[in-house]
Chain A
Amino acid sequence: MTAPINQTDAEFAAAPDRPQILTPPPQRSRRMALLIEHPTMWIGLILLMLVTLMGIFAPWIATADPSALNPAFRVKPPSADAWFGTDMLGRDIFSRTVYGARVSLVVGAGVAICASVVGLAIGLLSGFIRWADNIVMRIMDGLMSIPAILLAIALMTLMRGGSVFNVILAITIAEIPRVARLTRSVVLSVREQPYVEAGKACGTSTLGIIRRHIMPNTMAPLTVQATYICASAMITEAILSFIGAGMPSSVPSWGNIMAEGRALWQVKPSIVFFPALFLSITVLAVNLLGDGLRDAVDPRLAKQV
């Protein structure tokens, strides 16, 4: 029973592989089961995938060049030629809406990823370094006290000129405090766990403690938070483009298509209606996915929608 502590090389070479019996139930199958148990997540995921495919294959789906002007064919209602009608410059709204998915998705995903990564780093820093905590969190409080949309407008003005990169940067800065707070709260609760102390007693370095004990615990709430940030970033992007602070009108985005139809919406509601519908569906899809994920990672919060 008491095997010698010092093994010979031969014994190392003969090290057994993991035995096949008693393997833990694979985590993925559990997640698949949860996916089946949460139909809202399914719906969200399918809708989101459809919109994503639409964005990727926009050149093939679109029936016309989204920026081709056709002055003879302006403000037409939906028809067989122009499925969603045309705008004031005669551009095909269906094609513009299809291309608009690209901006929304890229901004949504970009902000979700950037805000999560930076927010995670800031949260870990302020949760772990006592003296930095006060300074960093007061800055975050300051950022949070400004409504996200106003902050984004101000940042866009500072950066002069709309591009996807600038829009992502502006919305990311506005969203970082939420992630940082969430991460910090997880860090503060996990770092007091006895297993962190036990890890320290085993000689694990601070970085190792963060990587092996603390980070994994932040992943579940962070994933859920990221989906909500993605949805809110899409809306913020649409607002920015709608008021003219976001994407230039040469790049179709759901926000600026709506902005162009604003003057005519009482007589030609189709210009505003279709991009608004797509924006709503996409945001709904992301939120459904986020709700499903939240229920899956924390069944205590589960509420059927």
Chain B
Amino acid sequence: MTDAPHLIEVRNLVKRFPIRGGLFSRSVKAVHAVSDVSFHIARGETLSLVGESGCGKSTVGKCLAQLIPLTEGRITLEGKNIAGLGRAEMQPVRKRMNVVFQDPFSSLNPRMTVEELIAEPLRSHRMARTRTERRTRVGDLLEKVGLPRETMVRMPHQFSGGQRQRICIARALASEPDIIICDEAVSALDVSVQAQIINLLMDLQKDLGLALLFISHDLAVVEHMSDRIAVMYLGRIMEIADRDAIFRHPRHPYTKALLSAVPLPDPSAKRDRVVLTGDVPSPIDPPSGCFFRTRCPMATDRCASDVPALRDMGGGQMSACHFAEEV
């Protein structure tokens, strides 16, 4: 590892949502949405966060963008802490980081024109002061995402889902950010449109040197896009490694099970399926030791007592399993 700070570095991120109840709304319990998550993203790199529904991947994204406050941990942008900053101090950070949300239908205000929507970050970061200046920028951004300039006068309901997601991307690009958090940005789209949006994102990334935090549950998309992949389960990172390492030689039983659940295009192909039994435990009352042990085919007594730390398996591949060598 080099000494220069990474673009984004997350250290021991914890997010608990208190459950209030009883007299005077005391917090009686808490949902452990994210526990002890650490990762970093380099400039121009795509890190994907994968995992099943409810594993806390979107919560990580929201904590990163400071849309919800984190409970514990540190997030640094080029070495400077950004966790828990006040509104005014957060403003320059917001300029360098923006979010594309899952649902392009509800993440654009239906009462605003495309021009107003894309100009919103320009306004709030005081980037283009006059109306003509803003209009030129909005037009450029629209062209950048493959929409005609003229569409800026329209309303969001006049666009299809894919076009709306392009508008969302143009909006996220408006403040010239260094990193864009794509929170399931293509999950709500048709497969053919997904491909277009993904290619658009990859082109933009190449042109602008953007870093992407790509949150998804679609392994095919993730394999296509990512430089590195972090696999999450119940709020913890199980394994984090380069894309090829994850797909060729996973070092965690959960990663293995996930990969074996990807449908193959060839119906006659045979393979060893790792079929998990049982349900994901409740994040209100997670299991002791390794969170995955209740469903892990390799679990032993040790897994119930010791929390496995992320260990380097060589080549930057980190796995949080006591028996990573045997996987």
What residues of chain A have their CB less than 8 Å away from a CB belonging to chain B?
1-3, 5, 7, 11-12, 15-16, 18-19, 21-24, 193-195, 197-206, 208, 212-213, 216-217
CB within 8 A of B140: which of A3, A19, A23?
A: A3
| B168, A198: Cβ atoms closer than 8 Å | yes
Give the size of the chain B interface in residues (CB under 8 angstroms): 49
What residues of chain B have their CB less than 8 Å away from a CB belonging to chain A?
65, 67, 87, 91, 94-95, 98-99, 101, 103, 106-109, 111-113, 116, 120-121, 123-125, 130, 132-133, 135-137, 139-140, 143-144, 146, 149-155, 158, 168, 171, 174-176, 207-208
Q: Shortest distance in angstroms between B183's beta carbon and chain A's nearest beta carbon?
A: 10
| CA of A98 to CA of B116, assembled, Å | 48
| A194, B136: Cβ atoms closer than 8 Å | no
| Contact partners of B151 in chain A: CB under 8 A | 22
Q: Closest chain B residue to A216 by CB distance?
A: B111
| B175, A202: Cβ atoms closer than 8 Å | yes
Of all A-B residue pairs in the complex, the 10 with the closest CB atoms, nearest first, are A15-B132, A203-B94, A202-B121, A203-B124, A3-B140, A201-B99, A194-B107, A15-B136, A195-B109, A194-B106
Q: Closest chain A residue to B142 by CB distance?
A: A3
| Contact partners of B123 in chain A: CB under 8 A | 204, 208
| CA of A203 to CA of B139, assembled, Å | 21
Q: Shortest distance in angstroms between B117's beta carbon and chain A's nearest beta carbon?
A: 9
Q: Shortest distance in angstroms between A135's beta carbon and chain B's nearest beta carbon?
A: 15
| Contact partners of A16 in chain B: CB under 8 A | 135-136, 139, 149
Q: Closest chain A residue to B122 by CB distance?
A: A202
Residue of A1, A3, A23, A202 with most chain B CB atoms under a 10 A cut-off: A202
Q: Closest chain A residue to B171 by CB distance?
A: A202
| CA of A11 to CA of B136, assembled, Å | 9
Q: Beyond the given A7-B136, A217-B111, could you list 8 further A-B residue pairs with CB under 8 A, ordered by the A residue number?
A: A15-B133, A18-B152, A19-B153, A198-B108, A199-B109, A202-B120, A202-B124, A212-B109
| Contact partners of A208 in chain B: CB under 8 A | 123-124
| CA of A217 to CA of B109, assembled, Å | 10
Q: Shortest distance in angstroms between B74's beta carbon and chain A's nearest beta carbon?
A: 21
| B135, A15: Cβ atoms closer than 8 Å | yes
List 10 A–B pairs whose Cβ atoms lie within 8 Å, in order of A's numbering.
A7-B136, A15-B133, A15-B136, A24-B155, A195-B108, A198-B99, A198-B171, A200-B67, A203-B91, A203-B95
| CA of A12 to CA of B130, assembled, Å | 10
| Contact partners of B140 in chain A: CB under 8 A | 3, 5, 7
Take A198-B101, A201-B94, A203-B124 as given contacts and tell me if A24 and B113 are in contact as well, using a CB distance cutoff of 8 Å: yes
| CA of A22 to CA of B153, assembled, Å | 7
Q: Shortest distance in angstroms between B199's beta carbon and chain A's nearest beta carbon?
A: 13
